[in-house]
Structure 1
Amino acid sequence: MEISHELAIGIDIGGTNTKWGLVNHRGDIIRKGDLKTEGYPTFEAYIDALYNTLTPVMEEVEDGKTVKGIGIGAPNGNYYKGTIEYAPNLQWKGVLDVTDLVSEKFGLPASLTNDANAAAIGEMMYGAARGMKDFIMITLGTGVGSGIVANGHLILGHDGFAGELGHTIIRPGGRKHWATKLDGSVEAYCSATGIVITAKELLATSTQESLLRNYALDELDSKKVFDCAIQGDAIAAETYRFTGQILGEALANFVMFSSPEAIILFGGVIKAGNLLLNPTREHMEKNLLPIFQNKVKLIFSELREADAAILGASALVWEQRD
């Protein structure tokens, strides 16, 4: 059957919600929806709920079209084994045999990878990385994820877990990460959570007036920091300048590791636009050797944030095409 007649199911498993979509080879989402990830006594019960949700959707596929397979993006997803391994934000602990259970239940081939890697694949097929063989995808949200593509292939490592750039150390002995307990990781500074911590630190060490002082500290979130920054608040703006500095220094290291054509930034944090991008670019370039300077594009994702996880997961199906 020609690929134009085939559809893929993309599934993004999050700690609270699971998003799914029926996607064609052009990246058009024909149908989409979600269901709760939480609340099932076993992982098998969750797969049953997923099957019951998606079966009516697959039965409504128009004549002449067929579902080729299922792609899944998940935290701590192992591409080689098809397993989720010790994901801290899922209620089921240990190693979960995802692709075996899904394939058996649905009667379709299933592929799985880390959620950030899925986003990189989606960007390569449908977004800003179309035609690129060497790029790095950085997802800036509650955490910092990454997907590295070199010579047209994801870098997975011998065990499937390569590419955790968010947990590399950029400030040895620096800020302690709230979950990993590592000191000075990129995620501790450049995630939405890290941005809020920076804003609170600046408020505590300055007597300068700030719109941020209108909020109780426990009410402060990254959206409020952004809202204050675009109103010209100095402390909020400095929060983004400092975040961009840390991110730029980290990206310089990543550039000298894989010499990508581009670094693509994705996620809720990039809504800050040039408040984040300008200091990031400045500090990336100033920390590069001359042979790397002014060669790497630093751009924002072209994928819609709400759909990126579904598209990235569905792209796994086309990647597995014979």
Structure 2
Amino acid sequence: MDKPYVIGMDIGGTNTVFGIVDARGNVLSKSAVKTSKHQDINLYIDEIYKELSVLIEKAGGISKIKGIGVGAPNGNHYTGNIEYAPNLQWRGVIPLSKLMSDKFGVPTVITNDANAAAIGEMTYGAARGMKNFIMITLGTGVGSGIVIDGKLVYGHDGFAGELGHTCSIRNGRLCGCGRHGCLEAYASANGVARTAKEILQNQNVDSLLRNTPIESITSKDVHYAALQGDKIALEIFEFTGKILGEAMADFVAFSAPEAVILFGGLTKAGDYIMKPIVNHLEKNLLQIWQGKIKVLFSGLKESDAAVLGSSALAWEI
């Protein structure tokens, strides 16, 4: 193989992680920079170039690199732009693919971070060999990537698959997007913390969670309390799993996937989140799908997942 490596780059609101990946999904080297350090996108690209060039030289030079894959908030696969990303400091439309390609001299492809996770899962992880599946990322927010007949669904404008912003509870909680009742407001790590705070503020109940200041409670605190058998923590995961399982039953109805794959920090809760999800999914599926839909945790190594997901895009160049 003349060009045996690709570069994967994941842009988050705080950090940007990047690395060199081979065709077997081995991350040969990786590094990171602070996304939030530079208000000027060109200075950001300059720092990426400086840091990534060191890794490229160790891999044998730019001639060994097939391309660069980028996962980013509001990354548009069609245009190569980051468009109006709410959690990045660069406003408006950023022609990131062009900026990267011009700087490095190799083709660059971009998509949103959840789509990148789906492609990574299909290339290296739990979805290998699958043609139809839904990827749901459960982190600070809820993202998703939908694969049908082996192809990621981008839709007319490149932004298809915002399942985290489907409505779970009409006129429910305010979501960060400005709408009310979105799945993300309930089934994300932040959503779990909000559920905990609501229960503790509105109910006179004993819980280990009361050992933490209410305003500081996180999903990690809820998981820790659940491990101790805390009744309220277990109820929080039951409620979260119910919301997510019901939503997944709706998602199954429009794409009939072989599996729904869950990825992200909230999956560390293991069976505390998985069991109620599967229970409420099965309760709400049409009979034709009952017992057919696998629910799996990601097969990607957590420490490499961001780089692997975005790198998988570059093999398609």
| Aligned counterpart, 1:226 | 223
Secondary structure of the residue aligned to 1:295 is: coil
Question: Closer, same or farther in 2 for the Cα pair 1:57/1:264, shift >3 Å?
Answer: same
Structure 2 gaps of 5+ residues are none
Gaps of 5+ in 1: none
User: CA-to-partner distance for each residue in 1:262-298, whole Å, 9 max, x for gaps?
Assistant: 0000111011111111111111111111111111100
CA distance in 2, matches of 1:38, 1:137: 27
Secondary structure at 1:291 match in 2: helix
TM-score, scaled to structure 1 = 0.96
* 2:11 matches 1:13: yes
Partner of 1:184: 181
C-alpha deviation, 1:240, in angstroms:
0.3
- Aligned-residue Cα RMSD (Å) equals 1.3
Match of 2:110?
Answer: 112
State the distance in 1 between where 2:181 and 2:299 align.
30
| Aligned counterpart for 1:82 among listed residues 80, 83, 87 | 80
Superposed CA deviations along residues 51-91 of structure 1, whole A, max 9, x for unmatched, are 11111221222489711111100000000000000001111
Q: How many Å separate the matches in 2 of 1:254 and 1:17?
A: 31
Aligned residues: 317
Q: Does 1:66 align with 2:64?
A: yes
Query: Residue 243 of structure 1: SS of its match in structure 2?
Result: helix
Q: 1:259 pairs with 253, 256, 259, which one?
A: 256
Task: Select the residue among 165, 168, 171 that pairs with 1:170.
Answer: 168
C-alpha deviations, 1:211-266, integer Å up to 9, x for none?
Answer: 01111112211111110011000001100000000000000000011000000001
**Equivalents in 2 of 1:64, 1:145: separation in Å?**
33
Classify the secondary structure of the residue corresponding to 1:159. coil
Q: 1:13 to 1:63 in 2, by over 3 A?
A: closer
1:117 & 1:267 partners in 2: Cα distance?
13
State which of 219, 240, 243 in structure 2 corresponds to 1:246. Answer: 243
* Residue in structure 2 matched with residue 306 of structure 1 by the alignment: 303
Amino acid at match of 2:228: Q
Which residue, out of 210, 215, 224, partners 2:212?
215
Contact 1:42 1:92 in 2 (8 A): yes
**For residues 118 and 61 of structure 2, what CA distance do their matches in structure 1 show?**
32
Query: Where does structure 1 differ by over 3 angstroms across 4 or more consecutive aligned residues?
Result: 62-65
Q: Among all aligned residue pairs of Structure 1 and Structure 2, give the percentage whose two residues are the same amino acid.
A: 56
TM-score, normalised by the number of residues in structure 2: 0.97
SS across alignment from 1:78? coil
Partner of 1:139: 137
Distance in 2 between the 1:237 and 1:106 partners?
A: 50
Q: Residue in 2 aligned with 1:38?
A: 36
Question: Offset of 1:203 from its aligned partner?
Answer: 1.5
Tell me, in whole angstroms, the C-alpha distance in 2 between the residues paired with 1:48 and 1:256: 46
In the alignment, residue 56 of structure 1 is paired with which amino acid? V
